[in-house]
Chain A
C-alpha cells in the first residue's frame, strides 16, 4: 500500500540508514529558485533570482537583512525562512542590547543549526524546508555560511543553492582564484555572472527578478552595513556586468587572432 514505510516522520531511520523526511526537505531547497553567495577578503555578497507566482503578482523576497552586519539568502519555503530569519533578527538584537556588539556570524549560524537539528530528532516535528546562505561581517572578517534543513552548516568561500544551482557552482569553482583577489564590485559581478549561468534559455536577469546583498569592510576600516540592491538600484551593477562581459569577449577574440 505504501511506496515507502520510512518516510512518515522525521525520526525514523530507513533500514539503509536514511531519514527520508530530511531528504525531502532538502529536495524543497532544490525546488527553490537559485541564490548565490561568495566572499573575498573584505566582502560577502549574496545574489538571488526572484520568482513571481504569476504574471501579475509581486516577486518573492530572496534576501533578508538580519542585522546591519548580516543578511540571509533563502532557497525553499519562504515561510520557514521567515521563521528562521525572525529568530536570527531577535538574537542579533539581543546581542546588541546586552553586550553592545554585533553577534558573531558563526555563533548565530550554529544556533539555527541546533534548532534545525532538533526538528529532525523529535517526534511530531518536521525539518525546515529551506536552505540559507548567511553572509555577515564580524571581527574576524567577512563570512559566508551554508545552512541546510538537516541542521548541517558549513563555512564556504562561494556557494549556490536552489534550482539549477549546479551551473552556478561550476562557474564559482572555475573562478575561485579570481574571487579571492577581486574588489567589492568585481565580486558582485562574479555573483551576477554565476547567477546568469543558471538561467534557462528564455530567461534573463532583470531589475525585477534580481536581488543583490552586500556586507563587508569599507575602505575606512569600518563595517559597511548590509546593503540590499533591488529594482532600479541594480542598474549600475548590471552595467558593470555588461562592461566586464564585453571586455572578456574582446579578450577571447584577440586570443583567436593570436592563434
Chain B
C-alpha cells in the first residue's frame, strides 16, 4: 500500500501494466446512475379469483455477491396495492419515497377518493418514462398488483424504459424466462381467472420461487409473498422455500471444474 488513494484497490502497474485511468473520469458526465449497483432479482405475480398474489425473494445482490439477505422488495401502498421491485435497490428506495409522499398527500383529503393500483401503475410508468427520457433511468422492473376502479383484480408491469405490459400472470428478470413457462402451463390462456383459487395461485408462486432458487444464481430461498384481496392486503415476509430437493443437481454436467 502506498499513499496514493487513487491506486488503492487497483491492479499493480508493475504486474499488470499501466492502469487505464480513462475509467476514473475526473471530468465528464456522471455515469454511475446509468447502470444498477445493488440489485434484486425476479418478482412474480398471478391473478386469481378475487385478487392477486405476488412474490419476490429477500435478496439484494451486489454484482454476484449476495450482499443483503433481508431486503423487502414488496412494498404496500396503503390498502390499495402492492408493488414488487426488481432491479436497482436504491432506485427502489427512491420510488418508495415518492409513493410515501403521494400516500400522505392523498390522505390529507381522501373524501373517498383513494388511488387504486391502476392509478399507481399509470403514475409509476410515467415516472420511469420521464427518467429514461432524461437519460437517467430508474433501473427497475416493477409489478403493480391490486384492484382497478371497477374492483377487478389488476396486475401490470412497467420497466426502466416506461414500457408497460399486462397479463394474468407476470414475472420480471430471470423469472420472465423460468417462471412464465411454468405459469403458462398451470394457467393456460383458455383458463379464466375465475377458475383459479387463491391456494392454487400461492402454490404456483411457491413452485416458481423454488425453480428460481434452483437455477437463478442471484436468488435466495427466503422470500416474501403478498395476497391482495377485497378483504385487504396480507404480506408474509421471511418465508422459507420448503421441500428442497437438490438431487437433480447430480445430473447437471458441463459447468465449472467438472471433468466428465
Interface residue count on the A side (C-beta < 8 Å): 13
Residue of A nearest to B120 (CB): A99
Distance A100 CA – B119 CA, assembled complex (angstroms):
6
- Among B17-25, B45-53, B82-90, B109-117, which stretch is in contact with chain A? B109-117
Residue of A nearest to B112 (CB): A140
Distance A107 CA – B108 CA, assembled complex (angstroms):
10
The answer, among B113, B126, B149, for a CB contact under 8 Å with A140, is B113
Q: Which residues of A contact B118 (CB under 8 A)?
A: 100
Distance A104 CA – B107 CA, assembled complex (angstroms):
13
Would you call B109 and A106 a contact (CB within 8 A)? yes
Answer yes or no: B123 CB below 8 A from chain A CBs.
yes
Within 8 A of B (CB), among A110-150: 110, 138-141
Answer yes or no: A97 CB below 8 A from chain B CBs.
yes
Would you call A98 and B113 a contact (CB within 8 A)? no
Within 8 A of B (CB), among A193-231: none
Answer yes or no: A101 CB below 8 A from chain B CBs.
yes
Residue of B nearest to A143 (CB): B111
Q: Which residues of B contact A98 (CB under 8 A)?
A: 122-123, 126
Q: Which residues of A contact B126 (CB under 8 A)?
A: 97-98
Q: Which residues of A contact B149 (CB under 8 A)?
A: 101, 139
**Could you mark each residue 116-152 of chain B with 1 if its beta carbon is under 8 Å from any beta carbon of chain A, else 0?**
1011101100100000000000000000000001000
Q: Which residues of B contact A101 (CB under 8 A)?
A: 115-116, 119, 149
Would you call A99 and B123 a contact (CB within 8 A)? yes
**Chain B facing A: main interface SS:** loop
Interface residue count on the B side (C-beta < 8 Å): 14
Residue of B nearest to A107 (CB): B109
What's the minimum C-beta distance from B164 to chain A, rounded to whole angstroms?
A: 11
Q: Which residues of B contact A106 (CB under 8 A)?
A: 109, 111
Q: 19 pairs across A/B with beta carbons < 8 Å?
A: A98-B122, A99-B115, A99-B123, A100-B118, A101-B115, A101-B116, A104-B109, A104-B111, A106-B111, A107-B109, A138-B111, A138-B112, A139-B112, A139-B113, A139-B114, A139-B149, A140-B111, A140-B112, A140-B113
Q: Which residues of A contact B112 (CB under 8 A)?
A: 138-141
* A contact set with B: CB distance below 8 Å: 97-101, 104, 106-107, 110, 138-141
Distance A99 CA – B80 CA, assembled complex (angstroms):
14
Q: Which 4 A-B pairs have the closest CB atoms?
A: A140-B112, A104-B113, A100-B122, A99-B119
Distance A107 CA – B115 CA, assembled complex (angstroms):
13
Distance A138 CA – B109 CA, assembled complex (angstroms):
13
Distance A101 CA – B111 CA, assembled complex (angstroms):
15
Would you call B113 and A138 a contact (CB within 8 A)? yes
Q: Which residues of B contact A140 (CB under 8 A)?
A: 111-113
Residue of A nearest to B115 (CB): A99
What's the minimum C-beta distance from B134 to chain A, rounded to whole angstroms?
A: 16
Q: Can you name 16 extra interface pairs (CB under 8 A) apart from A110-B109, A138-B112? A: A98-B123, A98-B126, A99-B115, A99-B119, A99-B123, A100-B118, A100-B119, A100-B122, A101-B115, A101-B149, A106-B109, A107-B109, A139-B114, A139-B149, A140-B111, A140-B113
Q: Which residues of A contact B111 (CB under 8 A)?
A: 104, 106, 138, 140
What's the minimum C-beta distance from A162 to chain B, rounded to whole angstroms?
A: 28
Distance A141 CA – B111 CA, assembled complex (angstroms):
10
Q: Which residues of B contact A100 (CB under 8 A)?
A: 118-119, 122
Residue of B nearest to A100 (CB): B122
Residue of B nearest to A101 (CB): B119
**Could you mark each residue 199-218 of chain B with 1 if its beta carbon is under 8 Å from any beta carbon of chain A, else 0?**
00000000000000000000
Distance A77 CA – B220 CA, assembled complex (angstroms):
66
Would you call B113 and A99 a contact (CB within 8 A)? no
Distance A110 CA – B111 CA, assembled complex (angstroms):
13
What's the minimum C-beta distance from A112 to chain B, rounded to whole angstroms?
A: 14
What's the minimum C-beta distance from A147 to chain B, rounded to whole angstroms?
A: 16
Distance A33 CA – B122 CA, assembled complex (angstroms):
42
Distance A141 CA – B109 CA, assembled complex (angstroms):
15
Residue of B nearest to A140 (CB): B112
Distance A110 CA – B122 CA, assembled complex (angstroms):
24
Distance A150 CA – B189 CA, assembled complex (angstroms):
59
Distance A141 CA – B123 CA, assembled complex (angstroms):
24
Distance A98 CA – B102 CA, assembled complex (angstroms):
12
What's the minimum C-beta distance from B166 to chain A, rounded to whole angstroms?
A: 13
Within 8 A of A (CB), among B25-77: none
